[in-house]
């Protein structure tokens, strides 16, 4: 089993669709090429911001292949491969590995919540990790799954040699600290939201997979660098300034807002896939007002 260094910032790319909700692989490549002007550690394709649950299996493979084609040398490509069954998760994980991803991010099954106890969850992740040709990251996203995996479960999962990290999107820094205190050396935690990036770093996270890194990559990197340099005052100022716009493109208005923000900045956000609906005019106006904050270092194409 091999490991990889996940230190740094990863944008969870939205999946590009046209007006008729058809997949646009060239726009996925376009976004990676533009965002790669920044010193990002890599990219996540098919995360929650990628509307993964709304794609067919064939579309998922096409999206992964497009991302891999555009990935610059030295960057890491992660792919979200969590499905409702262990069997399907393994199949998608193997297909993603065959397309050249470096690691997979696996969200927990959620439909049979009443049965998803500690033993079943740990067995699920162990079975996926046993079958995966690439390293596996656990993905805890309670806002979308309706389940919040415990530190005890994550610590047990971390015992598997092919499970190398955790994306924690619940914002519970106490849990992050519990996990990092107990797991094997080298197990890496990534913050799942820019709104709590600095607190996560303070507990031992190595970086983040952040929706806001699609629209403010330099800002997210600056928080990480300020923390690493010991400039906590600057890191705190940067952290505070990104909280409102990050909330807008995550918990408040979600993927439609993220795509609208990317369109506004000259990236490709494009259309969402139903049942999601595009951002309404009033919310769009409020979003642009938040993005007008001069303290924010938003995406700009470098000449």
Question: What was the pLDDT predicted at 26?
Answer: 98
pLDDT tens by residue, 187-218: 999 999 999 999 999 999 999 999 999 999 99
pLDDT tens by residue, 78-104: 999 999 999 999 999 999 999 999 999
| CA-angle at 227, arms to 154 and 298, nearest 5° | 95
In this predicted structure, the answer to whether residue 10 has a pLDDT above a threshold of 90 is: yes
- The catalytic residues are 167
In this predicted structure, the answer to whether residue 1 has a pLDDT above a threshold of 60 is: no
- Given pLDDT bands bounded at 50, 70 and 90, which one contains residue 22? very high
Question: 213 vs 27, 60, 218, 245, 296, CA distance in Å?
Answer: 17, 22, 8, 11, 12
Nearest to 268 by CA among 6, 3, 8, 16: 16
Average pLDDT for 265-289 = 98
- Given pLDDT bands bounded at 50, 70 and 90, which one contains residue 303? low
Using CA atoms, how far apart are residues 46 and 36, in angstroms rounded to an integer?
Answer: 18
Residue with tokens 């996990």: 179
2: left (phi over 0), alpha (psi -120 to 50) or beta: beta
Structural domains present in the chain? 8-242 (3.20.20.70)
> In a 3-state reduction of DSSP, which class is residue 67?
helix
Alpha-carbon Rg for the chain, nearest whole angstrom, is: 18
Burial class (CB in 10 A: 0-12, 13-18, 19+), 53: middle
- Tokens (6 digits) for 191: 């913050």
Strand ranges of the sheet holding 103-107, from the earlier edge strand across to the other edge: 8-10, 207-209, 188-191, 163-168, 136-140, 103-107, 76-80, 42-45
Question: What was the pLDDT predicted at 67?
Answer: 98
In this predicted structure, the answer to whether residue 280 has a pLDDT above a threshold of 70 is: yes
- Non-local (6+) Cβ contacts of 282 within 8 A are none
Nearest to 2 by CA among 131, 102, 126: 102
pLDDT tens by residue, 46-65: 999 999 999 999 999 999 99
Give percent of the chain with pLDDT exceeding 90: 98
275 preceded by cis ω (within 30°)? yes
Q: Which helix (H) or strand (E) holds 10?
A: strand 8-10
- Given pLDDT bands bounded at 50, 70 and 90, which one contains residue 250? very high
Q: What b/e sequence results for 64-81 when a residue is b if at least 16 CB atoms lie within 10 Å of its CB, and e otherwise?
A: bbbbbebbeeebbbbbbb
DSSP E strands: which ranges in 108-254?
Answer: 136-140, 163-168, 188-191, 207-209
Q: Which helix (H) or strand (E) holds 152?
A: helix 151-157
Question: What was the pLDDT predicted at 102?
Answer: 98
Question: What was the pLDDT predicted at 3?
Answer: 82
**Are the beta carbons of 205 and 235 closer than 8 angstroms?**
no
């Amino acid at each position: 089993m091999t490991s990889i260094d996940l230190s740094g910032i990863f944008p969870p790319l939205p999946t590009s669709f046209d007006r008729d909700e058809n997949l646009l692989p060239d726009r996925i490549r376009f976004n990676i090429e533009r965002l790669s002007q920044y010193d990002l550690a890599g990219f996540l394709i098919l995360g929650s911001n990628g509307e993964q649950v709304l794609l067919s299996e064939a579309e998922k493979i096409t999206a992964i292949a497009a991302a891999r084609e555009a990935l610059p040398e030295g960057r890491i490509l992660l792919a979200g491969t969590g499905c409702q069954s262990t069997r399907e998760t393994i199949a998608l994980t193997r297909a993603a590995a065959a397309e050249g991803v470096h690691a997979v991010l696996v969200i927990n099954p959620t439909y049979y919540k009443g049965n998803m106890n500690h033993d079943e969850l740990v067995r699920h992740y162990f079975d996926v990790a046993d079958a995966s040709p690439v390293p596996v990251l656990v993905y805890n996203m309670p806002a979308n799954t309706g389940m919040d995996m415990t530190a005890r479960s994550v610590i047990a999962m971390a015992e598997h040699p092919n499970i190398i990290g955790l994306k924690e999107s619940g914002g519970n820094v106490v849990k992050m600290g519990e996990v990092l205190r107990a797991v094997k050396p080298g197990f890496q935690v990534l913050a799942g939201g820019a709104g709590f990036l600095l607190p996560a770093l303070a507990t031992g996270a190595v970086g983040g997979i952040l929706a806001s890194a699609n629209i403010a990559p330099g800002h997210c990197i600056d928080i990480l660098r300020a923390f690493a340099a010991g400039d906590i005052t600057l890191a705190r100022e940067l952290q505070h300034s990104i909280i409102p716009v990050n909330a807008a493109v995550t918990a408040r208005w979600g993927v439609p807002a993220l795509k609208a923000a990317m369109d506004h900045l000259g990236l490709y956000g494009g259309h969402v896939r139903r049942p999601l609906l595009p951002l309404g005019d009033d919310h769009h106006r409020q979003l642009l007002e938040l993005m007008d904050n001069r303290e924010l270092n938003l995406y700009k194409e470098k000449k």
